[in-house]
Structure 1
Amino acid sequence: MAENKTQATEASVGGFLDGVDHSVRHRDSLRLLELMSTITGEEPVMWGPSIVGFGRYHYRYETGREGDAAAVGFSPRKASLSLYRLLQSPEAGALLPRLGKHRTGAGCLYVNKLEDVDEAVLAELIRAGYRHMTAWTQNG
């Protein structure tokens, strides 16, 4: 069976974020780093070349494919910030209308800049997503 493309690496999170050229994405990435570290209590880890992740969960599909992924995380992409695993919790549906300007798709939450969203609501999404994904591993 093929190995998962996105795996935890030993790459430097600080080095990766220092390389973010877009000034707003860089600033927002540093804030997300602080926010996600505080909420999850986890150290940041690079997953693949461009995802900063916190914690991990284990998945196993009916096909037999299994692996590990970041419980929550983000990536400063060219078009927007991509936030991972914040939409999976049962609370997400009620929180999203209060978040502010955002898009969703492919299981991700996309934000152009953090000043477009309510940071308290974002913190709740992070907390709920992390709690859900880590509980899922324990119970799934």
Structure 2
Amino acid sequence: MATQKTRPDTGTVEDFLAQLDDPAKIADSQALIGLMQEVSGEAPVLWGTMIGFGHYHYRYASGHEGDSMLIGFAPRKAEFSIYLMGIYLPEAETRRDELLSRLGKHRMGKACLYVKRMSDIDLDMLRALAEISVATLRATYPQK
């Protein structure tokens, strides 16, 4: 099996944030850290260029397996990539669609939510999405 490229503990979150050149991006990152740490109950950890909270081990029917963060984000230059993988599982679909419709200005990728600024969205809706994501992943992939 190939070595997973994205792994935790690739540096410190503080050093990573210090290299951002946009004070608004830093402030939004700190707000996301607070929200995600509270929701997950986990400390922030740098996963390459992403800040993740908690982890889970997955194994698909195809045999592919690996490790990923429960929730996380990456402060990219143009926008934030917010990783809420659990909201994409079928058991989260109904509630997800309702919350996304009330979230505010965003766009969706396959496994990622994209937001330019935290002021563009309703943070209560983001918190609810994060809570659903964490709960769904913990139920689907319990740690042994």
TM-score by length of 2: 0.89
Q: Contact 2:50–2:74 (CA<8 Å) still a contact in 1?
A: yes
Structure 2 spans left out of the alignment, 5+ residues: none
Q: For the residues of structure 1 that align with 2:96 and 2:17, how far apart are their CA atoms?
A: 27
Q: For the residues of structure 1 that align with 2:75 and 2:10, how far apart are their CA atoms?
A: 19
Shift of 1:77: 0.5
- Matched with 2:80 is 81
Q: AA paired with 1:109?
A: L
- Matched with 1:55 is 54
1:13-33 deviation line (CA, Å, top 9, x unaligned)? 111112111222111001000
1:76-103 deviation line (CA, Å, top 9, x unaligned)? 0011000002532332111000000000
Shift of 1:10: 4.7
Q: AA paired with 1:13?
A: V
- Matched with 2:46 is 46
Percent identity between matched residues is: 41
1:127 corresponds to 2:131: yes
1:29 corresponds to 2:23: no
TM-score by length of 1: 0.91
- Matched with 2:140 is 136
- Matched with 1:102 is 106
Q: Contact 2:84–2:129 (CA<8 Å) still a contact in 1?
A: no
- Matched with 1:15 is 15
1:24-46 deviation line (CA, Å, top 9, x unaligned)? 21110010001111111111111
Q: CA RMSD in A?
A: 1.5
1:5 corresponds to 2:16: no
Shift of 1:137: 0.7
Q: For the residues of structure 1 that align with 2:43 and 2:96, how far apart are their CA atoms?
A: 24
Q: For the residues of structure 2 that align with 1:34 and 1:65, how far apart are their CA atoms?
A: 32
Structure 1 spans left out of the alignment, 5+ residues: none
Q: Contact 1:85–1:133 (CA<8 Å) still a contact in 2?
A: no
- Matched with 2:119 is 115
Runs of 4+ more than 4 Å apart: none
Shift of 1:106: 2.3
